[in-house]
């Protein structure tokens, strides 16, 4: 699977990428919404992992924008955020996210979610 990680914290983005790679998947990084929008067509990710607290275009808006594009296909969207309350989970679901992961991301959790997605594909 190809996974695009959209995260403005460079160290956290790279660490998440290494976790994804350890599990056995390919990844690309984007630091913000406009960069993700500009680069996804050439990479064609199966999964988008999007930080909610992005500068400028937040993760909710980015998810909505990407899901509105016909070339996205059946990509899966994972919110990654420090916010885990019921209200935040409701907001990610309303924006179109398929999963909601609370930071810090643990290898076991990420492996389970990505494994479930891979199995369904």
pLDDT in tens, 86-113: 999 999 999 999 999 999 999 999 999 9
33 and 55 Cβ atoms separated by less than 8 Å: no
Cα distance between residue 39 and residue 25, in whole Å: 18
**Mean pLDDT (the chain, rounded):** 96
Q: What percent of the chain has pLDDT over 70?
A: 100
Q: If pLDDT is split at 50, 70 and 90, which confidence band does 121 have?
A: confident
Domains of the chain: 2-120 (3.40.50.2300)
Rg of the chain, C-alpha, whole Å: 13
Q: Under 8 Å CB-to-CB from 75, ≥6 apart: which residues? A: 45, 46, 47, 48, 66
Query: Mapping DSSP to helix (H, G, I), strand (E, B) and coil, where does residue 48 land?
Result: strand
Q: What is the pLDDT of residue 83?
A: 86
Q: What are the pLDDT digits (tens) for 19-39? A: 999 999 999 999 999 999 999
Q: Does the reported pTM lie above 0.75? A: yes
Looking at residue 8, its pLDDT comes to: 97
Closest to 98 in 3D by CA, of 112, 82, 83, 113: 113
């Amino acid at each position: 699977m190809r996974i695009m990680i959209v995260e403005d914290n460079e160290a956290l983005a790279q660490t998440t990428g290494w976790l994804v790679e350890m599990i056995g998947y390919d990844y690309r990084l984007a630091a913000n919404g406009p960069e993700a929008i500009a680069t996804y067509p050439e990479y064609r990710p199966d999964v988008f992992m999007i930080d909610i607290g992005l500068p400028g275009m937040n993760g909710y808006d980015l998810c909505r924008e990407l899901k509105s594009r016909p070339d996205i296909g059946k990509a899966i969207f994972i919110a990654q955020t420090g916010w885990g309350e019921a209200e935040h989970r409701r907001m990610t679901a309303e924006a179109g996210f398929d999963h909601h992961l609370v930071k810090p991301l643990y290898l076991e959790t990420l492996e389970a979610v990505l494994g479930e997605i891979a199995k369904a594909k």
